[in-house]
Amino acid sequence: MTGTPQVWNSDDWEIFALGLLQSRHGPLNIQKIPAAHKGDLGIDCYCTSDAVAYQCYAVREPIDIAIRAERQKKKITTDTGKFVSNATEISKLFLNTPIKHWVLLVPLHDSKDVNLHCSKKTIELRALKCSHLDKNIEVSVQDQLTFAPSVLSAGLAALNTIAFDILPPTADQLSQLQSDSPDLLDNARSKLLKRAGPKDVDEAVGEAARSFLECKSTLDALRSGSPDLHERIVSAITQKSRRLILAGPSGGPGPGAILNTEIENLIEVLKEAAPNLSDTHVRQIAYGTVCEWLMRCPLDFKADAA
């Protein structure tokens, strides 16, 4: 089962991308063009020493591969057009140095159709023979995977708070969980029945399923965007799970007290492992992990503990 793709808003992606480019070209060699005042030249950042222009772009996720590719292709067409029509200003920015590369920098590139579109635009730009473009100008697309994991982690750490827009699980995803893993939900139901009772157990199981999927999506986003941070979080969860299996749950004696204690303890463990991770994501991971413990058996409580 896969989680939803991580979701960047355009402002956060530009900030993050700027950090990636500074690591590639050096902090003094990459410059940002503010969009607030006459900044729409078809580029967001540029490096004169390497004669490369970057346009940063993040589509609104989740969408399928074909739609993502179409939107990226449209962005390339629109902004390479601006890149040509604003030749005079762009030439001044690059100190009259012919530009060798125009790069669309995106969170995720997963379609060869975008590569083919880049090749098409490369041929078109070369045919124009613009004075501000190198005769071998190349249009390309790159994503996070073109940077080392350590660079991605450093970029995320540079943000005051590491946060992604994690969309709530859809009805289809919840149905798929029920279809693929009914035994997990049955485990959760048998345990939550001891806390919620017959009247409210369905609502409690539904919340457990949503929290479980939301946790998976958050961890997927971290695995893609910050592998080092993801590894620290998974390690912290693993150690907490081993203790739970060996020593049993904390708190009590009632199921509600045990659940609250385990959640709060895990929140503290996660904050220590990932101090820059947003409080929302910490809680998403903690809630979902405890729900997974209910589903997979490390966490249980006595039937008469209410």
Identify the burial level of 120 via C-beta atoms within 10 angstroms of its C-beta, where 0-12 means exposed, 13-18 middle and 19 or more buried. Answer: middle
Confidence tier at 137 by pLDDT (50, 70, 90):
very high
Q: Flag whether pLDDT at 260 surpasses 50.
A: yes
Between 247 and 125, the higher pLDDT residue: 125
Q: Flag whether pLDDT at 304 surpasses 60.
A: no
Q: Is pTM, for the whole model, over 0.75?
A: no
Q: Flag whether pLDDT at 287 surpasses 90.
A: yes
Q: Flag whether pLDDT at 5 surpasses 50.
A: no
How much is the pLDDT for 91?
A: 96
> In terms of DSSP H, where are the helices of the chain?
10-25, 65-85, 87-93, 112-128, 149-158, 171-180, 182-225, 227-247, 255-273, 279-296
Amino acid at 105: L
User: What value does the mean pLDDT of the chain take?
Assistant: 88
Q: How far apart are CA 242 and CA 240, in angstroms?
A: 5
Question: Would you kindly state where each structural domain of the chain is located, as residue ranges?
Answer: 10-147, 171-296
How much is the pLDDT for 196?
A: 80
Q: Flag whether pLDDT at 295 surpasses 50.
A: yes
What are the b/e assignments for 155-167, b being 16+ CB within 10 Å? bbeeeeebbbebb
How much is the pLDDT for 159?
A: 67
> In terms of DSSP H, where are the helices of 95-148?
112-128
Per residue in 62-76, pLDDT (tens digit) is 788 999 999 999 999
How much is the pLDDT for 34?
A: 84
CATH, domain 10-147, list 3.30.200, 3.40.1350, 3.10.450, 1.20.1070? 3.40.1350
Confidence tier at 151 by pLDDT (50, 70, 90):
confident
How much is the pLDDT for 256?
A: 83
What are the b/e assignments for 65-95, b being 16+ CB within 10 Å? eeebbbbbbebbeebbeebbebeeebbebbe
What are the b/e assignments for 22-59, b being 16+ CB within 10 Å? bbbbeeeebebbeeeeeeebbbbbbbbebbbbbbbbbb
Helix (H) or strand (E) holding 141: strand 133-142
Average pLDDT over residues 250-270: 88
Per residue in 83-124, pLDDT (tens digit) is 999 999 999 999 999 999 999 999 999 999 999 999 999 999
Between 194 and 77, the higher pLDDT residue: 77
Size of the chain in residues? 306
Confidence tier at 37 by pLDDT (50, 70, 90):
low
Q: Flag whether pLDDT at 40 surpasses 80.
A: no
Q: How far apart are CA 75 and CA 123, in angstroms?
A: 17
Average pLDDT over residues 152-165: 72
Structure tokens at 276: 């820059």
How much is the pLDDT for 7?
A: 61
Q: Flag whether pLDDT at 160 surpasses 50.
A: yes
Per residue in 173-196, pLDDT (tens digit) is 999 998 898 888 888 888 888 888
